[in-house]
Amino acid sequence: MPSITVKEATKFYKKDNRGKLSDKVIMKELKGSEAVVYGARSVNAFVPAYLKKHTEDWDIYVADDAKTVAGKIEKALDKRYGSNFFSVEPAKHEGTYKVKSRVTGRTVADITIKEDEVKHRKVGGINYTTLDFQAEKLKKALEREDAKFRHERDKETLQRINVYKSMQPKKKVKKRVVRGRKVMASLGTTR
């Protein structure tokens, strides 16, 4: 972590407000873009407040050039904070770049190239992976031995998703008659 003066750190912390400012800047960059948020932030976009999970960083899928997107987010953060408080670094996994705070050393965003189709929904102008997509991703991660270090965390996130899904009302199938045939409205099939 580069040397930051006390004056610079004070400026950062006053503006940062426990990460709320960086969240606002990143959300502004994501609105209307093709990027898709995944991970805890994605789960939090769909569940009620008591099922939300604390998270400090943003996990973001992009179609191409994760480094350029990370650089764009870093520049927007630096501009809003009024100084060079952020940097872009390659992550452990190829094709992923981190936007990190130069003051705290914490990662504020992980940007990853996603080559496969990602199921997502738009919430507040931002694309978030669906809960079904997240649940499948978590189940796969729980099968991997090399991801054992995060199994407890992933089990708990999956449990939050399952609790939310169990609270959702079952879809009722409405039947209607069209020209002498019953049509199941939700399926569009006839009998």
Nearest to 128 by CA among 118, 136, 138, 137: 118
pLDDT tens column, 43-92: 999 999 999 999 999 999 999 899 999 999 999 999 999 999 999 999 99
Q: What's the rounded mean pLDDT across residues 164-186? A: 68
- The domain tally of the chain equals 2
Q: Which of 97, 129, 161 is the last residue of a domain?
A: 129
Distances (CA, A) of 165 to 46, 47, 137, 139: 10, 9, 16, 16
Q: Where are the alpha helices (DSSP H) in 1-150?
A: 6-16, 20-30, 40-46, 66-81, 131-143
How far is residue 41's CA from residue 48's CA, in Å, rounded to a whole number? Answer: 13
pLDDT tens column, 99-136: 999 999 999 999 999 878 899 999 999 999 999 999 99
Which H/E stretch holds residue 173? none
Whether residue 160 sits in one domain with residue 76: no
Q: 0.85 exceeded by the pTM?
A: no
pLDDT of residue 17: 83
Domain span at residue 120 reads 1-129
